[in-house]
Structure 1
Amino acid sequence: MSSLIGKEGIDIELNAPAKKFFDMICNTPNQVSDASADNIQKVAALNGDFGSTGSIVCWNYIHDGEPKYAKEVIEGIDRKNYSISYRVFEGDILKEFKSFVLKVQSIPKSNQGEGSIARWTFEYEKLHEGIAFPKSLLELAKQVSKDVDSHLIQPN
C-alpha cells in the first residue's frame, strides 16, 4: 500500500529575488500565463482571492503536448518562508492520482536578495501500482519557473 504514496521534487536556480518569485506564484498567478504562455494558458480565482488560504484556483496548462486543467484549493501560505501549498481536487491529474498536493517555495540564495531557488514538491497517492509519476511534471515546473524568472528580471 505504501508504494502508492510518493513525493517528487525539483530545485530550480533563479536570478530573480525570492520575494518577487513568490509574489507572482502566490499573489498574482494570473500573470504566470503572460510569463509562460507556451505552458500556462490561464489562471483564474474561482472562489476567493489569489494569495488567500482556502481560495479555489483553476490552472489551464499544457502538459505532454495536451491541454489540461487543475482546480486547486490553497491549503497554506507561509509568507515568512515564501511558501504556498495547493491541493488538487479536480482535473486531469486526478485520473491517475487519488490525491495530489503541490508546494512551491522560493528560497533566497543570499541575504542581499540576489537570486533564489524555486523548490517544487509534489506529494501524491497513486490510484494503483501501475501508475508512474509523470517526470515531465518536473520539467513543466522547471520551464514555468525559468519563464517567470526571465519575466521578473526584465527591465520595466
Structure 2
Amino acid sequence: MGKLVAQTEIKSDGDVFHEIFRYRPHHIKDMSPANIQGCEIHEGEWGTVGSVIFWNYTHDGKQKVVKDIVEAIDEEKKSVTLKVIEGDLMKLYKTFTATVQVDTKGENNLVTWTFEFEKLNEGVEDPNTFMDFCLTVTKDIEAHHLK
C-alpha cells in the first residue's frame, strides 16, 4: 500500500469548500472547466455515504473517467473520502482512495489531499500527477470563490 499526502492553503471559506465536495461536487465543472467536464450521481443522494459519483475529467491532456463511492464523511474534520470503483485509475491501481479534508482553524484554511493506493505492479508510478491535478482543481475552486 502506498500513501501520498499534499496540502495547500486557500484564502476562500473552508466551510464552503467542504460543502462543495460534500453536497455540490457537480458544481466543480463550472469552477474548473479545463479539468472537470462532468460530475453525475449514479446512486444515492449528494452528500451521503454510499452514493456513487461518476466524473469526466482531463488529466495529463487526456479525457478520463472515474466512478467512486462516498466511503466516509466527517463533519467535525470537514473531510470526504471517495473510494474509486471503476475508471482509468483502476488501470494502474488495485485500490485507490482519496480523502479531501479542510482545516478551518485559525485565519487560513488548509486543504489536505490524501491518497491511499495499491499499485497493480511495481512498474506503476505513484499518483503524483493526479495529486497535482487535485491541487489545481482546489486552486480553481478557491479562485472561483474569491471573484
TM-score by length of 1: 0.91
Q: Cα deviation per residue 1:115-143 (whole Å; 9 max; x = unaligned)?
A: 31110011000011111113111110111
Name which of structure 1's ranges 115-124 and 85-94 shifts more when overlaid on structure 2: 115-124
2:50 matches 1:54: yes
1:16 and 2:9 correspond: no
Residue 112 of structure 2 corresponds to residue 116 of structure 1: no
Summarize the alignment of residues 35-114 of structure 1 with structure 2, pairs less than 5 Å apart: 35-110=31-106, 114=107
Q: Which runs of 5+ in 1 are unaligned?
A: none
Structure 2: state its 5+ residue gaps: none
Instruction: State how far apart, in whole Å, the 2-side matches of 1:79 and 1:105 are.
Output: 10
Offset at residue 49 of structure 1 (A):
1.1
Report the structure number with the largest CA radius of gyration. Answer: 1
Output the amino acid matched with 2:84: V
Aligned: 1:28 with 2:21: no
- Give me the TM-score of the superposition, normalised by structure 2: 0.97
Aligned-residue identity in percent: 35
List structure 1 segments (4+ residues) > 4 angstroms apart after TM superposition: none
Cα RMSD (Å) of the superposition?
1.0
Report what 1:136 is aligned to: 129
Whole-angstrom CA distance in 1 between matches of 2:76 and 2:47? 14
Give the AA of the match of 1:142.
L
